């Protein structure tokens, strides 16, 4: 016999009557039905740079949840205080401060269903500030990358001296360009490259990978293997090899263009001859 399922209406809210003893399933159902509040990682990363305190950030998250889950666009101070570890006075101070700092604003919304104009919190200033902070951080990253490249890929000591120091400098250079700590396998790969070749060449391969937007070890390894296959052991020999390669490619392009032009001329001549034959033989 199937278990009974029913619901009760309390006021205007319908409440599900759960089966006795099935707490885990009830929790899982509510966990799914209530959804989740999406908080951008960029906001969590940069909110301190936007002069937003930890308490204010938690307040913003609760306001976003109320907006998404309960469609509450203008929660009261008392309503927010029930959700946070702060009293109403503290909430009011934080809200006023965020409005003053242009993190939030209060604007008018039109409720089409009820044909009403309502006040509500507007998060557009918050996301404008996030975009500005993100843009400034990106500009700084680009400037650092340019300085790195213009400096020849870092300040490494001369090859063949201070092997341990060389490795540490290589680790720092890779971590700076990748924007994260290296994994044990990546460290092992750098050590293998350093044992087989000159650290200057490793830095040059990293520089070229960065210029091409290829932030991965596989691409850098393919560059080093290409140089090893062609017995290129110095930056000068690599530059000379690149010049010869560009000349060969330019020659192929020129020959290809000449061949295309010749084919077009032949095609045009054939069409002209066919037209002449048609005029005289018709």
Residues of the chain with pLDDT under 50: 1-12, 153-162, 276, 278-282
Looking at domain 151-233, what is its CATH homologous superfamily?
A: DnaD domain-like (1.10.10.630)
pLDDT for res 34: 79
pLDDT for res 10: 45
Angle at CA of residue 197, ends 196 and 200, nearest 5° = 150
Cross-strand bridge partners of residue 105 = 122
d(CA 167, CA 45): 31
Q: Where are the domains of the chain?
A: 41-128, 151-233
pLDDT for res 159: 42
Q: How many CB atoms lie within 10 A of CB 183?
A: 10
What lies within 8 Å, CB to CB, of 42 at 6+ separation is: 130, 134
pLDDT for res 80: 95
pLDDT for res 17: 62
DSSP state, residue 230: T
d(CA 41, CA 35): 18
pTM listed for this prediction: 0.48
Q: Which CATH class is domain 41-128?
A: mainly alpha
- The sign one gets for the Cα dihedral 111, 116, 120, 122 is positive
């Amino acid at each position: 016999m199937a278990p009974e399922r029913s619901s009760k209406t309390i006021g205007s809210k319908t409440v599900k009557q759960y089966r006795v003893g099935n707490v885990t399933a009830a929790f899982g159902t509510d966990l799914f039905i209530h959804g989740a509040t999406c908080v951008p990682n960029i906001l969590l990363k940069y909110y301190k740079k936007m002069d937003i305190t930890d308490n204010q950030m938690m307040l913003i998250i609760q306001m976003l949840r109320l907006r998404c889950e309960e469609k509450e666009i203008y929660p009261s101070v008392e309503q927010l205080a029930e959700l946070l570890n702060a009293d109403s006075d503290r909430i009011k101070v934080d809200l006023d401060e965020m409005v003053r700092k242009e993190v939030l604003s209060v604007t008018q919304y039109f409720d089409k269903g009820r044909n009403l104009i309502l006040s509500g919190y507007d998060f557009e200033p918050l996301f404008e500030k996030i975009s500005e902070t993100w843009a400034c951080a990106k500009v700084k990253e680009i400037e650092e990358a340019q300085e790195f490249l213009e400096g020849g890929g870092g300040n490494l000591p001369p090859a063949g001296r201070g092997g341990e120091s060389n490795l540490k400098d290589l680790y720092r250079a890779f971590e700076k360009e990748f924007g994260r700590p290296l994994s044990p396998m990546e460290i092992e790969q750098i050590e293998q490259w350093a044992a087989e070749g000159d650290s200057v060449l490793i830095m040059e391969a990293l520089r070229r990978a960065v210029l091409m937007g290829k932030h991965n070890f596989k691409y850098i390894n393919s560059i080093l293997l290409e140089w090893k296959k062609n017995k290129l052991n110095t930056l000068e020999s690599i530059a000379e090899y690149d010049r010869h390669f560009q000349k060969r490619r330019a020659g192929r392009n020129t020959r290809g263009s000449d061949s295309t032009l010749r084919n077009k001329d032949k095609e045009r001549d054939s069409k002209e001859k066919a037209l002449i034959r048609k005029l005289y033989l018709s």
